Amino acid sequence: MEHDIVNVAQTKQPAIFTQFMNLVKNNELSHAYLFTGEDGAGQFSVAMGVAMRLFCTNVQNGMPCGKCAECVRIMNYDHPDVVVTKPDGQSIKIDQIRHVKSEFTKSAMEGSKKVFIISEAEKMTTGAANGLLKFIEEPTGNVVSFLISKNRNLVLPTIISRTQVVEFPSLSKKLMVKELQPSGVKPSEVNLMISITNSLDQIKGWLKDDWFASTQKMLEKWFIYLVKDNTMAMPFIQMSLMPLITNKDRQRIVISMMLSLFDDVLETKYGTLAEERVKYPSILEQTKLAASKWRNDQILKMLDELLDVNKSMAVNVNFQNIIEALTLKILEISKS
């Protein structure tokens, strides 16, 4: 564990982490930051790494050593001057913020500095957020606060206006693949997954019960029926595809997966689909067949129909009806 936090921060966000190490070195840290970006982009590791750098007794090349007593206590959430707050259940409640506030007003127990890290800050109740406001605005003593949120739009504007916002860029494909390897993601799934989201947490959710792989296979079969102008595509939806689409969230993901499928066809048509970016590698031959069979205007019409699905979903039309209507439209366009 010794170097985990520093390694993760350096690997995922080398530029941001180096910038913060320099801010600590030059004593130029602001009193409050909002770290925002996709899940897994390294926000928490950077915040923890800054805390370690502030207290480390054996700094190496401007980085915390990860081995001294101070670093180890911080990594074990056992340092009295580094307070980490996470949601208790679905939200960060006012009592949790009261605890933070009481810590704010105490003088640092072991030194002149105090660090507060609030994970999933968008989950603060309005009361909790308002309770935190004036303490961010008028910190007592040498305090630095890190609020971490994957969606800055869900954080109160009054909080945002009192912090320095740092946008964390999404991880590169190479890093995403490395992060996902322990979760058992197949290489054939990676391109499709990262064409839909950059959130590692979301992808890990899809991997539970093999849902994503099963849905990908069913969409491949659906597509093969379409390329062959086979009306079996219709009963296939009801029998095989719909049982997998059990909630609104999965409906949206399936539409994104369909868009990625037709995107492969369009890119194949234009000759711009590099082999390492193919999202449906196991049906590449059928994708090529579709690209040679369908005209540009037909493929673009199909994509338009897919994009229109979002409008139908917004007015709560039955999802099976939507997909069946879409399938009929694609079959019609294919013959036009």
- Provide the CA 99 distance to its chain's centre, in angstroms: 29
141 and 178 inside one domain: no
Please answer whether residues 280 and 220 qualify as being in contact, where contact means their C-beta atoms are separated by less than 8 angstroms: yes
State whether 77 and 212 are in the same domain. Answer: no
Domain check: are 158 and 182 in the same one?
no
The pLDDT of residue 2 is 39
Q: How many domains does the chain have?
A: 2
Same domain, 202 and 165: no
Do 180 and 308 have their domain in common? yes
Summarize the chain as % helix, strand, coil (round to 5).
Answer: 65, 10, 25
CATH of the domain at 150: 3.40.50.300
**pLDDT the model gives residue 106:** 65
Do 104 and 196 lie in one domain? The reply is no
Within this chain, do residues 136 and 285 fall inside the same structural domain, yes or no?
no
* Separation CA 103–CA 179 (nearest Å): 35
Q: What is the pLDDT along the chain (336 residues), one digit of tens a residue?
A: 434 888 888 888 889 999 999 999 998 988 889 999 877 788 999 999 999 999 999 998 999 998 999 999 999 998 888 989 888 878 888 888 888 777 766 654 555 688 989 988 888 878 888 878 877 776 666 788 899 998 788 888 888 888 899 998 877 777 777 777 777 777 678 888 888 887 777 887 887 778 888 999 999 999 999 999 999 999 999 999 999 998 888 898 999 999 999 999 999 999 888 887 899 999 999 999 999 999 999 999 999 899 888 777 777 678 999 999 999 999 999 998
- Measured distance CA(87)–CA(235) in Å, rounded: 45
Q: Examine the domain organization and report whether 280 and 308 are in the same domain.
A: yes
Q: Same domain for 209 and 295?
A: yes
Contact 92, 130 (CB under 8 A): no
DSSP sequence for 273-310: --GGG-S-GGGHHHHHHHHHHS-HHHHHHHHHHHHHHH
3-class SS at 35? strand
- The boundaries of the domain holding residue 187 are 174-335
Are 155 and 287 contained in the same domain?
no
In this predicted structure, what is the pLDDT of residue 1? 40
pLDDT the model gives residue 104 = 63
User: Does the pTM of the predicted model rise above 0.85?
Assistant: no
Same domain, residue pair 10 and 131: yes
Q: Find, among 12, 35, 44, the residue nearest to 151 by Cα.
A: 35
Predicted pLDDT at 161: 84
Which SS3 state, helix, strand or coil, does residue 264 take?
helix
| 23 and 114 share one domain | yes
